[in-house]
Amino acid sequence: MTRQVIFAFVVLITLGIFAWTIMRIIRYFRLTKPAFPVRDFGRRFRVMLDVAFGQTKIFRSPVIGFFHALVFWGFCIILLGSIEMVIDGLFGTDKALKVLGVLHDIIMASGDIFALLVALSIIIFLSRRLFLHIKRFQGIEMKHKNHVDAIIALSLILLLMISLLGMNAAYVAGHRLSGNVIHGVYPVGVVLSHFFTGMVPYHIHMVYEGCWWTHIILIFVFANILPYSKHFHVFMSVPNVFLSRLDPLGKLPNMDHVTKEVKLMLNPDTAFAAPATETPVERFGIKDVEDVTWKNYFDSLSCTQCGRCTSVCPANLTGKKLSPRKIIMDVRARMKEKGPGLVSQGKEYTDNKSLVRDYITEEELWACTTCNACAKECPININHPTLIVDMRRYLVMEEGSAPGEIKAVFSTIENNGAPWQYSPEDRMLWAKDLEMKVHLS
Ligand code: SF4
Ligand code: SF4
């Protein structure tokens, strides 16, 4: 009974801290702007199965993608076993889900095998981080703390797997020695249980209890550390893929107010059509973190910092300052910095800084070719170019700031209706000597 009370207390503390963190994040989401409407659930579900659970984008790098997919699938399976541990801890049962019969055997067997596979994959990931100079993990945005953060999270996962394997092995060894029924199937546990040969049941039980508590406490600690680390993607990546922008890559969202103005100018009848939105324009584009949409912020929390986007960015590859990963990471960092002030003092709060310029320079923004290679490569369907274009919109529409060549194009479009410095009347002059009838008016 004491064990159950202690466990219930630990669960309460874990849930309390976790709920506090989530409430804090929800308050930050409330500061953001609306994005696209979330509909077409069937299609979204298919994208989630394909990209998130099928890990299709990850498999573009087949070898390391395979290990990453193993970790992801392993987590999903092992999570089921963790639910059973919580039930056992709270109610003092032994393998509460054994009522599921063969399904329980399958869950336990896959969890046991995946624990080993995940542990091996994590050792590979850790070795890569510690001993190999992987270009994708470098960049101006990747500070020492980002690498430490990744190493801590990977080490925690490794400990989780080792404690799970130890627990399974001790469970098999203990039950075999006492003649009790072993609930579930543990292919790896059976092999590892031979290490316990010669130990007395009491010591085996102590190892089991030690591994059980280590595993469950690590899960609780991990769950509460994740929201503050890059490994928050463990929670966020699947929903982020579900909430993907479904428009084709390269299709930029129009600004409703501007679209209406243009339609008005082209056809006065549209002035009486239902307005796209009634809210007044507070800002054109994105200047600071309160101008981003909830999806931009969701993306920033989900980013795995894997660097696949930056590794294919033509601007980055040709030595420009732009790194699409940095753009996404900056949104998260800026919300962390300004969010508390906005929450406590309202939207008038200012710290005399902004996302554009203090975090992301104009040089970075104008280096983007909007080729969408980053968005295509991102394993969790983050769309960088729409965010970049929105920041450019702010620069152009509110500050009139753009590189000289682009300003020249803007002014010729305004004056001539085309990006070239010729009068519209001269548009067909190229055809005047042709031996065919061309109407020049
Ligand atoms: S869209 Fe922009 S940021 Fe993305 S890969 Fe192309 S140039 Fe780089
Ligand atoms: S934006 Fe996507 S591709 Fe880029 S680092 Fe984040 S998760 Fe990786």
Instruction: Give the ligand with the smallest distance to the CA of 328.
Output: 2
* Ligand 1 atom 5 nearest Cα: 313
Is the shortest distance between the CB of 180 and ligand 1 below 6 Å?
A: no
CB atoms inside a 10 Å sphere around CB 284 = 18
Which three-class secondary structure string do you get for 183-249?
CCCCHHHHHHHHHHCCCCHHHHHHHHHHHHHHHHHHHHHHHHHHHHCHHHHHHHHHHHHHCCCCCCC
Q: How far is the CA of 384 from the centre of ligand 2 (A)?
A: 9
Is the shortest distance between the CB of 384 and ligand 1 below 6 Å?
A: yes
Is the shortest distance between the CB of 322 and ligand 1 below 6 Å?
A: yes
- How far apart CA 353 and CA 343 sit, in angstroms, is 16
Is the shortest distance between the CB of 371 and ligand 1 below 6 Å?
A: yes
Predicted pLDDT of residue 273:
64
Task: Give the model's confidence band at 438: pLDDT under 50 very low, under 70 low, under 90 confident, else very high.
Answer: low
pLDDT tens-place string over residues 292-347: 999 999 999 999 898 999 999 999 999 999 999 999 999 999 999 999 999 999 88
CB atoms inside a 10 Å sphere around CB 354 = 19
Task: Give the model's confidence band at 416: pLDDT under 50 very low, under 70 low, under 90 confident, else very high.
Answer: confident
**Can you say whether residue 381 is alpha, beta or left, with left for phi > 0 and alpha for psi between -120 and 50 degrees?**
left
Q: How far is the CA of 399 from the centre of ligand 1 (A)?
A: 23
- Token reading at 384: 């960088």
Predicted pLDDT of residue 435:
75
Predicted pLDDT of residue 437:
66
Beta bridge partners of 360: 356
Predicted pLDDT of residue 215:
94
C-beta of residue 380 within 8 angstroms of C-beta of residue 51: yes
- Compute the average pLDDT of residues 65-70: 89
Ligand 1 pocket test target in 366, 369, 377 with most atoms within 8 Å of CB:
369
Mean pLDDT of the chain: 89
Closest-CA residue to 386 (of 303, 266, 295)? 295
pTM for this one?
0.85
C-beta of residue 303 within 8 angstroms of C-beta of residue 314: no
Q: Which atom of ligand 2 is nearest to the CA of 328?
A: 1
In sequence order, which residues have a C-beta less than 8 Å from that of residue 31 and are 6 or more positions away?
289, 290, 335, 339, 342, 343, 347
As to burial, measured by CB atoms within 10 angstroms (0-12 exposed, 13-18 middle, 19+ buried), residue 249 is middle
Q: How far is the CA of 312 from the centre of ligand 1 (A)?
A: 8
pLDDT tens-place string over residues 159-197: 999 999 999 999 999 998 888 889 999 999 999 999 988
- Compute the average pLDDT of residues 115-133: 91
- Compute the average pLDDT of residues 111-129: 93
Task: Give the model's confidence band at 259: pLDDT under 50 very low, under 70 low, under 90 confident, else very high.
Answer: confident
* Ligand 2 atom 6 nearest Cα: 303
CB atoms inside a 10 Å sphere around CB 73 = 16
Predicted pLDDT of residue 440:
57
Q: How far is the CA of 150 from the centre of ligand 2 (A)?
A: 14
- How far apart CA 212 and CA 191 sit, in angstroms, is 19
Residue 143 confidence (pLDDT) above 60: yes
Predicted pLDDT of residue 270:
64
* Ligand 2 atom 2 nearest Cα: 378
Percentage of residues in the chain having pLDDT higher than 90: 54
Predicted pLDDT of residue 135:
83
C-beta of residue 266 within 8 angstroms of C-beta of residue 249: no
Ligand 2 pocket test target in 137, 309, 383 with most atoms within 8 Å of CB:
309
Task: Give the model's confidence band at 274: pLDDT under 50 very low, under 70 low, under 90 confident, else very high.
Answer: low
Q: How far is the CA of 370 from the centre of ligand 1 (A)?
A: 5
pLDDT tens-place string over residues 13-51: 999 999 999 999 999 999 999 888 888 999 999 999 999
Q: How far is the CA of 368 from the centre of ligand 1 (A)?
A: 5
Predicted pLDDT of residue 278:
58
Predicted pLDDT of residue 276:
55
